[in-house]
Amino acid sequence: MEFIIKVLAYGLAVYLSFYSFYWLLTTILGISYRPQKPDLLTKLMGYMSIPKKLAKVNHTNPEILVILPAYQPGNIFLKVIESLEKAIEGRNVKVYVLLQEADAHFRKHLKKRGFWVETEKFSHLPGNSYHHALRHIVHKINAFQEGELMNPDFVMLLDKDNLLAPDFFEHISPYDYLNYDVMQARRCGINKNGDISFFDTVSEGLNDTMFRSAKSLVNGTIEISGSGALIRTELFKEAITNLDSNAPGYDKNFMVQVLTASDRARTVYLPYLQLFEEKTSELENYNPQRVRWFGEQYYNALYSAKKLMKASVRYGRLSAIEYLIALWRPPRSVQLVLVPALGVAETGMYLWMDYWWLGFPYFAGSTLMLGIASLLFLTKEGLLSSSLRHIFSLPKLAMSNVMNASVSVKKENQGKFIHTQHKL
């Protein structure tokens, strides 16, 4: 029995140590990322190296289609419309809104602004309702192209609570349009005073640092958010068409399709492109959101592993393996509570027995790496003092996320999209 316990302890120690090192490494890389608008020499080199198939892309005035698949939008949606109208003024940008189970007055406001508007319902259909909406959008884009209404170079999904900065499109250069297939913006929180919304903001910032900034620095394939990414139209259409119907959520399976496609997508994170969104502030709304997020993560970790490994071998694509590693990570809140607790226990046993139970201070070392990574990130984001006010709420959140993660992998949650309720 003691042997089995020790083997399990070794497994846990190696697993947590690896992901603490992964957290530290990607944080160091991420905070080192300083994107700057390219100088003339970089632009010239970039123009010379673009694929021939993109040589005729209109990079000085590209056609962009902004898509809003708005399911049961709330009052903030009117502000979303206003912010979008200001951001696209005078630009070659069109807006298509897919209203789903929405109040009739929203359609009136949208039509008045000259947006394309459709009203549809997908919740009665079996499977992932968001996938149904996205595939409907792809059919609509095809119709736009065939009818010569527009032939967008890029599409961008926005959520029903996303407020675009007025200068959003001003920060995208012709070089960016020409040299990247995906440009991810930064999603900033409108509200972050409560415990839940604060940790939601921190989690989003960590995603930006570890999975976007770090990968941009090393020229890897960044992880897209669910919204706020300009994606080359043909890449978007292909990835949506190939989505796994059983996958919960959307963005992580979208990433699997991008990483396993024959052509490598050129991606970049541009944090000076900003949009603002409401952060979840109530636990009863936070839990369903996390069930969806963990469901996306661990479904793809299990069912897309073979596909990602095959792509890494076939195309020599390290990003596919790295993404699989990222999918297998533990929930952050759980790691932040569990690792230090085990580190203290391990150190206490050493002081008592005068030797490390596993032969090496795995948990203590893991705690040190995690502590350094957290300190670097919070200092860089200016959140160190704020985090001290919320730290005692972390164990409760971790327990919630243990339950959310365990519920998320249940068969009943496959092929679903669990919508988040918003107050605003």
Which are the contacts of 16, defined by CB distance < 8 A and separation ≥ 6?
330, 335, 338, 339, 342, 362, 363, 366
Burial of residue 284 (CB within 10 Å: 0-12, 13-18, 19+) is exposed
Q: Domain 28-327: which CATH class?
A: alpha beta
Q: Residue 412 corresponds to which tokens in the numbers above?
A: 């009943």
Angular region, 249: left φ>0, alpha ψ -120 to 50, beta rest: left
Q: Residue 329 corresponds to which tokens in the numbers above?
A: 């990570």
Confidence (pLDDT) at 214: 97
Confidence (pLDDT) at 245: 87
Confidence (pLDDT) at 194: 77
Write out the chain's pLDDT in tens, 424 residues: 777 888 898 999 999 999 999 999 999 999 999 887 655 545 555 555 555 555 456 677 899 999 999 888 988 899 999 999 999 999 999 999 999 988 888 888 888 888 999 998 888 888 788 899 999 999 999 999 998 889 999 999 999 999 999 999 999 999 999 999 999 999 998 866 778 888 888 999 999 999 999 999 999 999 998 899 999 999 999 999 999 988 888 899 999 999 999 999 999 999 999 999 877 666 666 777 787 878 899 999 999 999 999 999 999 999 999 999 999 999 999 999 999 999 999 999 889 988 888 889 999 999 999 999 999 999 999 999 888 888 888 888 889 888 888 877 776 666 656 556 555 5
Which pairs from 117-123 meet CB under 8 Å and 24+ separation? Answer: none
**Measured between alpha carbons, how far is 65 from 152 in angstroms, rounded to an integer?**
6
Q: For the segment 196-254, what is each residue's pLDDT rounded down to a tens digit?
A: 888 888 999 999 999 999 999 999 999 998 899 999 999 999 999 999 988 888 899 99
Q: How many CA atoms lie within 13 A of 81 on its CB side?
A: 24
